[in-house]
Structure 1
């Protein structure tokens, strides 16, 4: 063996030993860290080493598994694409918010990571695999998206979008952005605070929403009825065993619900506006991020509902004011009509009085005319049937129609003639 060959093997052995030692140091460094660490090899990216955080985050139960098999659904600039590129180019890459679809079926969840991927080389410099170091940013990413959606909701409220649209959009936003599957429900309190009505629950079954629409507020009436009654959050982590759900357990089982966390929606003066609830398929205890979401969006719902109530009150006040204005205008129109009618009656009375005087003058020459004297300018060809007189002694003869007009419009006029029966003839005609 030549000295140069021995030296080469010694150098190679030292290089490999150094690489292994470095890997062990990194493994020790990240062993208890919340940061993810793993080394993978081959085109399938088989996991050789990984810390507990990596196993927990990616759902990889043990080493020796290929990430290409464990993570079948990766889109956009996904994790496997990143590993492929580093292995192909031999260049390190640091990417932020790498999206990874973890799990499958109902348990699937979207996750985001800030990842640094470095090539692992052998003594000859060839790429053996990739070293992965990263931090999961799912909570931060979702929080950012939730806050962005929250701003959108506030803008909707500010421009007075319909309450149903705001609440439905809020529910869908939370359901889509929160990592775990959940269903959001908002119930609205009746004005008397004794019952809760459907407000929004886009993902709960229709039969469930119909069944709880109008439930009473009271102790032990599910999560929402109790929360509304107590004016404080009610966290039911297991519907199957909680006594609050005795009357609704079969309904919840039919809807596939395992937990319900409800918090009252309160106005600024403490009045009950409704309830905000988060349902889960399986029993669950809320984490701090869950409680934060509840506080933020229950407050948003309160703002939307109170704004809606204020708008309804404003519209009702405007409607009352408009009704009062219309009533006042109608009164004024009626007064004008009455005044005009009074003026017409006064004119008619004056004209009839003039006719009475003219007829009285004619009566002096013709005590009993054959024709009606009260027909005015146009005259009247009807036979003279009745005699009328006033308190001044003026008298005239007229037909029954014109006599009635005179009796109605001219004060102090009475039927005076006895020749044809007088008053009795008029009344019995």
Structure 2
């Protein structure tokens, strides 16, 4: 019966000598009968456990009581020591005499490892949670990093840790924070250069990968620091670099041991997690500090601006207005005339939320308390001009207006009065928050009196045109004009008109007249102006149109600036933007090229291996292998370089341009975005710079992609439209236009953002992810091509950008793996592999290679169909998948899904992208292996061996 037990069972005589042991002991330890012929099981125990076990056994023998202990027993099948729990108890006869001892040993190794793993995981979670709590609590980075390191002895088996921070110039490690036991070592070592051969830390920073020195005394990397490390009792060092978003090291997480020791895979994973915690601490503390600094700057700006700014809650006023509307009142102004007390009641109902220093000083508030400001403001209700302004605000709120500008007189805290220009941003529906600025314009009149004196010293062409007399005052910068004489102040309008380029004259005069007669307050335009030397220069004119109390335009005041330098800079910016667009495409190009190289390199390598080495064809095959490897290196450089090409405009078929870019656009999109081309039949040709057109279209597509982070639909449409006079804003002339529409189903924009989309350097993207020049350059390109651009967008409803270009007549437009047997331990013929690859040639090559290695291979071209087969419980032993694939599910998503459903299945991802791109920032699940295309046969063999052994 005892022989049937899975545990090791034995008996001894009353003296403790073993007289019988179950067969499980021999099978488990591999020790023959001769090994314990002397009646002692100790030869099967770990040397370190023999003395303690003998001592416990002796105590039990002498006391005649049971004995419980644990020891490590040699497991022959696994060639390692495994932990056992042991129970030995005595047996007595009816007379009470001890006659025998019975012992049983149970293998608890796996149980203990699981318990240790759970305990370690809990400790790691505590460390990670503590990091987040400390960041939120505002603790300094040094304290956070020190606490991470202090936790390491319990997490990594007595290891001592510190964090070595990278210097500002990224050349060395110059700041060490961590376990107090390492302070003397840190002071002694000083700085560690980031270079090969500079210990584990310096080398890890240079390689940008983990470096494990199991024995410092023998590791050549530690030659410069070997004696110093020994003096401080350091025998092993495991270093894990902490990289920023660009892959550059910002710190090294270092763990030291007092005895030589190599890390296990679990310990490597712990090291990586702690490095991630360090990264979180460094990056989040930096972001937190930047945010706090930004908030301080905002408050300083808010508080020290000379213009009074305050926030009010007018919810009570709005409720009163709503209640009044419910009674049927329609003519609110007439009702106010009959109920003048309503304005004072409304003033008392306004609650001040905040006000800056200028607001408090202006209204004589005695403290920063908003109630003090409210009391000061209530006194304004007795001033007639303020009551008029309050009335205007109530009317605007009644009518649902969002902005209001008005003037009134207010008493200063020193007893004097001030003329105030107030601008109000009224609440939107559902909000009661009002923002008000008050500008003391008393001094403005004096400033206006000095205007001409200041203008004379300006290098800009400044003018003041009397619309009644049509005479124009100009400053001395008017020397641009051919007929201007220095000292001459009033010029007839004809002096300016005659200097406008003939091709611009009609357009500019028409626009200015329309602005004046249309009641506009401002006009801006660009045109060409002749200088005194006869050359024309591009200029921009900005002018304010002033009206009298009756609303009649009486003056036009503005300036004219030379745009020559700005235009040259814009040309340079367009070139930079085009190269940036090329850079966004190189990832997709490298992916396709590497797919081809995978087939070329793999087949050439196979051919070279099968041909006799002295055959000329073998030499040719080796040359192909060498060339393919060089080409693989070239694809890596594609990500950093873009070739400049001369550009020239010409007539191009819009549909052909778009169709020619389809593959590039698709490669620029994420797999979750579908591209829909709706091209009209023969919309015509356009006269454009092809490179700029393609850059503009790519820019719009990339913007659409960024607006759809969760995926969506990108639609490109073409059509032929006819524009009449005034049909398109700023269109040079009526006629036929080709319309190109780029639409997305993304997040959309609010009106405030939409109004600024063409402003240079305006961007809604995070710092470092957008230049703010994309749409402004598209805008400039379209207008320089004689066309028009418009943007339609709503929050949550996506965005459509329309380009309208004049239709033209069609014409020609101007390291190697070890060799030998790498057969996995599992029988090849039993291994069934599923290959997922959308590229036919690559899929066929991988399948051919696996079959040559005696694997049974199945293949799918889409991740969706592969997922269906795996969910159907088909017996696969390994999944090999490409990363970038169409169909809505990529290889990484497939792998993560399978890990949740079949965690025992080994997974290998292959891609022509770099690992960082292919695995979403390098955060690849540790259970997933990665192989970059193109790869060699031997590399794949070795990786398969490792996977199937695992």
Band of TM-score, shorter chain: 0.5 to 0.7
Please list, as runs of the form range in 1=range in 2, the aligned pairs for 1:26-37 lying within 5 A after superposition.
26-32=24-30
Match of 2:300 in 1: 323
Match of 2:41 in 1: 49
Shift in Å at residue 206 of structure 1? 2.4
Matching residue within 22, 26, 50 for 1:60: 50
How does the TM-score come out when normalised to structure 2? 0.26
Tell me the alpha carbon deviations over residues 220-253 of structure 1, each in whole angstroms, 9 at most, x when there is no partner: 3222122112211122233234343333233212
Tell me the alpha carbon deviations over residues 394-423 of structure 1, each in whole angstroms, 9 at most, x when there is no partner: xxxxxxxxxxxxxxxxxxxxxxxxxxxxxx
Match of 1:119 in 2: 89
Kept in 2: contact 1:260–1:277 (CA 8 A): yes
- Structure 2 vs 1, CA of residues 67 and 333 (structure 1 numbering), >3 Å: closer, same or farther? same
Q: For residues 199 and 114 of structure 1, what CA distance do their matches in structure 2 show?
A: 42
Shift in Å at residue 213 of structure 1? 4.9
Kept in 1: contact 2:240–2:254 (CA 8 A): yes
* Residue 230 (1) aligns with residue 220 (2): no
Higher relative contact order (CA 8 A, sep 6+): 1
Q: For residues 254 and 106 of structure 2, what CA distance do their matches in structure 1 show?
A: 38
SS at match of 2:181: coil
Please list, as runs of the form range in 1=range in 2, the aligned pairs for 1:87-166 lying within 5 A after superposition.
88=65, 115=85, 117-119=87-89, 121=91, 126=98, 128=101, 130-136=103-109, 137-159=111-133, 160=135, 162=139, 163-166=141-144
Shift in Å at residue 314 of structure 1? 1.6
- Structure 2 vs 1, CA of residues 29 and 272 (structure 1 numbering), >3 Å: closer, same or farther? same
Q: Identify unmatched segments of 5+ residues in structure 1.
A: 1-14, 34-38, 40-46, 70-79, 101-111, 347-429
Tell me the alpha carbon deviations over residues 241-271 of structure 1, each in whole angstroms, 9 at most, x when there is no partner: 4343333233212211122121101234534
Q: For residues 87 and 288 of structure 1, what CA distance do their matches in structure 2 show?
A: 45
Kept in 2: contact 1:227–1:263 (CA 8 A): yes
How does the TM-score come out when normalised to structure 1? 0.53
Match of 2:150 in 1: 172
Q: For residues 200 and 156 of structure 2, what CA distance do their matches in structure 1 show?
A: 21
Match of 2:247 in 1: 270
Shift in Å at residue 61 of structure 1? 6.8
- Structure 2 vs 1, CA of residues 99 and 119 (structure 1 numbering), >3 Å: closer, same or farther? closer
Match of 1:289 in 2: 266
Kept in 1: contact 2:304–2:358 (CA 8 A): no
Pick the structure with greater CA Rg: 1
Shift in Å at residue 187 of structure 1? 1.6
Q: Identify unmatched segments of 5+ residues in structure 2.
A: 1-11, 72-81, 309-356, 364-411, 419-441, 443-950
Kept in 2: contact 1:187–1:196 (CA 8 A): yes
Match of 1:25 in 2: 23
- Structure 2 vs 1, CA of residues 31 and 249 (structure 1 numbering), >3 Å: closer, same or farther? closer
Q: For residues 188 and 289 of structure 2, what CA distance do their matches in structure 1 show?
A: 27
Q: For residues 278 and 43 of structure 2, what CA distance do their matches in structure 1 show?
A: 42
SS at match of 2:170: coil
Shift in Å at residue 336 of structure 1? 6.5
Q: For residues 165 and 158 of structure 1, what CA distance do their matches in structure 2 show?
A: 13
Match of 2:400 in 1: none
* Residue 188 (1) aligns with residue 169 (2): no
Matching residue within 304, 324, 329 for 2:281: 304
Matching residue within 195, 205, 214 for 1:218: 195
Match of 1:246 in 2: 223
Tell me the alpha carbon deviations over residues 2-60 of structure 1, each in whole angstroms, 9 at most, x when there is no partner: xxxxxxxxxxxxx98xx978514242143259xxxxx9xxxxxxx931463x325x532
Match of 2:237 in 1: 260
Task: Answer 1 or 2: which has greater helix percent.
Answer: 1
- Structure 2 vs 1, CA of residues 322 and 222 (structure 1 numbering), >3 Å: closer, same or farther? farther
- Structure 2 vs 1, CA of residues 281 and 158 (structure 1 numbering), >3 Å: closer, same or farther? closer
- Structure 2 vs 1, CA of residues 330 and 157 (structure 1 numbering), >3 Å: closer, same or farther? farther
- Structure 2 vs 1, CA of residues 198 and 121 (structure 1 numbering), >3 Å: closer, same or farther? farther
- Structure 2 vs 1, CA of residues 87 and 27 (structure 1 numbering), >3 Å: closer, same or farther? farther
SS at match of 2:299: helix
Please list, as runs of the form range in 1=range in 2, the aligned pairs for 1:336-415 lying within 5 A after superposition.
none
Kept in 1: contact 2:88–2:101 (CA 8 A): no
- Structure 2 vs 1, CA of residues 262 and 23 (structure 1 numbering), >3 Å: closer, same or farther? same
- Structure 2 vs 1, CA of residues 150 and 290 (structure 1 numbering), >3 Å: closer, same or farther? closer
- Structure 2 vs 1, CA of residues 62 and 145 (structure 1 numbering), >3 Å: closer, same or farther? closer
Shift in Å at residue 172 of structure 1? 2.9
- Structure 2 vs 1, CA of residues 286 and 157 (structure 1 numbering), >3 Å: closer, same or farther? closer
SS at match of 1:66: helix
Kept in 2: contact 1:153–1:170 (CA 8 A): yes
RMSD: 4.6
Q: For residues 197 and 238 of structure 1, what CA distance do their matches in structure 2 show?
A: 24
Match of 2:780 in 1: none
Q: For residues 257 and 135 of structure 1, what CA distance do their matches in structure 2 show?
A: 33
SS at match of 2:247: coil
Shift in Å at residue 291 of structure 1? 1.6
SS at match of 1:60: helix
Tell me the alpha carbon deviations over residues 267-300 of structure 1, each in whole angstroms, 9 at most, x when there is no partner: 3453423111121223333332332221222222
Q: For residues 203 and 99 of structure 1, what CA distance do their matches in structure 2 show?
A: 35
SS at match of 1:188: strand
Shift in Å at residue 192 of structure 1? 4.2
